[in-house]
Amino acid sequence: MNVKEFVNNKAKQLCFYLRAYWQGELPIEEIELFFWDSMEEWGQIEYTFTQPYTQKERVFWHLLHQVHFWPEEKLSRDNYLVEELTNCILFLEGKGHCPFDCVGIRP
């Protein structure tokens, strides 16, 4: 699997998990498990430090970092944060514009 395939697969899953979490269908612990599983899988991906990022990859890493960084209460109740993350989801799903403030980087 290469970087593009990894990002495409994981972005779909991340969007699904986050939407399910906001709808009360998934506990926050499942998102944390997804984060750590993704980090483990990322360790299997071969890439070079000179390999350029796509906008999708930057948004993916930004979103993944955000859902891991913020506490559960803020992630579920902060309207500004939820709106920002929803914009990231829409872009990853091909339904929105690239958020200009996403600066995600590879771990």
The angle at the Cα of 102, spanning 101 to 107, to the nearest 5 degrees, equals 150
In the predicted model, what is the mean pLDDT of the chain?
96
Q: At what angle do helices 3-22 and 28-42 cross, to 10 degrees?
A: 170
Residue 26 has pLDDT above 90, yes or no: yes
Average pLDDT over residues 78-105: 95
Distance CA 14, CA 47 (A): 21
Q: pLDDT band at residue 87, thresholds of 50, 70 and 90? A: very high
Average pLDDT over residues 60-77: 97
The whole-model pTM stands at: 0.94
- Position 50 scores a pLDDT of 87
Cα atoms in the Cβ-side hemisphere of radius 13 Å centred on 97: 3
Instruction: Tell me if 35 sits within 8 A of 94, measured CB to CB.
Output: no
**Residue owning tokens 């989801």:** 89
State pLDDT tens for residues 32-67. Answer: 999 999 999 999 999 988 889 999 999 999 999 999
